[in-house]
A = this chain, B = another copy of it.
């Protein structure tokens, strides 16, 4: 059973202390799909211009990603984002955002996507996310990501959207902003009361915490020797998390979510985020194998068991 992924496919210009790339494949839905593709079949929904390169579509297709829902706008240009990271890579400054065809993105799911049980909504306008959710009203496990901008300026729409979600993945500063609580446990309780019974709070290099039915599980971040480019790490976390659950068929039959599977999904999320940072952009996914992923899973076990 496949995972439907909705969000941005873009070109990025990125500068980190390790180098600079003027234009490369990027976008939340790209990173999510690539990470998830190691675990399950992915069906992508996004929009690009006619500048979208054949080799980039080829990379996605080579990972088995269904591109039926990848709309191409004739005469349009693909979303472009440019940013520069601070020396410690914990902050980044946006230098340029050209929404281009993404400005009018109004995702319409192909018929062949609508009966899938799994839906992961990348960070787009909350009303659009709700619209996709409505097109997949049979989904067993649906949820996604959001960001400070929507939390702050589209709060009403976002709260309405969250009511229909089974899970939400956000980072700690977004959790504070959404809940008004500084304390992580109390923030989580407030957010769960908004709709998503399963909440993953990402903490950057420190890993992530998942909250579910009064329990929580803490996954550390992998200690990389070298972070080349953190772009997309959070999206790869989401892709690894939901890709693993979809690949295992968790809750597809309407059974309750198994917390043991959720824990493993968080570890796979952390793993996919860590691989993402090892090269610029999506480069790591050109060579990464499922065996590499399993080796890192065993490393996580070694580094956390007591």
**What 0/1 pattern do residues 41 to 69 of A give for CB contact below 8 A with B?**
00000000000000000000000000000
- The answer to whether A185 and B225 touch across the interface, beta carbons within 8 angstroms, is yes
Interchain CB contact under 8 A, B182 and A88: yes
| A263: B residues at CB distance < 8 A | 305-306
By beta carbon, the residue of chain B nearest A89 is: B182
Q: Does A303 contact B (CB under 8 A)?
A: yes
A224 part of interface (Cβ distance < 8 Å): yes
B183 lies within 8 A of A226 (CB): yes
Asked if A21 is at the interface (CB within 8 A of a chain B CB), the reply is no
Question: How many Å lie between the Cα of A52 and that of B13 in the bound state?
Answer: 62
**A304 contacts across to B, CB distance below 8 A:** 217-218, 304, 306
Q: Within the assembled complex, what's the spacing in Å between the Cα atoms of A263 and B301?
A: 13
Q: Least Cβ distance of A210 to chain B in Å?
A: 10
- Closest residue on chain B to residue A221 by CB atoms: B218
Q: Which residue of B lies closest to A300 (CB)?
A: B306
Residues of chain B within 8 A (CB-CB) of A184 are 223
Copies in the complex: 2
In the assembled complex, the CB of A284 is this many whole angstroms from the nearest CB of chain B, namely 18
Complex contacts, A140 vs chain B, CB 8 Å? none
Q: What string of 1s and 0s marks CB contacts (under 8 Å) between A74-100 and chain B?
A: 000000000000011000000000000
CB pair B303–A305 under 8 Å, yes or no, is: no
Identify which of A186, A206, A227, A264 gathers the most chain B CB atoms within 10 Å of its CB.
A206
> Does B183 contact A225, Cβ atoms closer than 8 Å?
yes
Q: Decide if A209 touches B185 in the complex (CB within 8 Å).
A: no
Does more than half of chain A's interface fall in helix, strand or loop, or is it mixed? mixed
A169 an interface residue at 8 Å Cβ cutoff?
no
| Residues of chain A in range 215-262 having any CB-CB distance to chain B below 8 Å | 215-220, 223-227, 260
CA of A303 to CA of B215, assembled, Å? 8
The complex places the Cα of A180 from the Cα of B225 at a distance, in Å, of: 15
Given contacts A206-B203, A206-B206, contact A224 B305 (CB under 8 A): no
Complex CA gap A306/B184 in Å reads 21
Name A216's contact: one of B218, B266, B267, B303 (CB within 8 Å).
B303
Cα separation A88 to B183 with both chains bound (whole Å): 9
The interface residues of chain B lying within 8 Å CB-to-CB of A87 are 182
Residue in B182, B218, B223 whose CB lies within 8 Å of A220:
B218
Q: Which residues of A contact B (CB under 8 A)?
A: 87-88, 182-186, 203, 206-207, 209, 215-220, 223-227, 260, 263-264, 266-267, 300-306
* Top-10 shortest CB links A-B: A218-B220, A263-B306, A206-B206, A185-B223, A185-B225, A218-B303, A88-B182, A264-B306, A267-B306, A184-B223
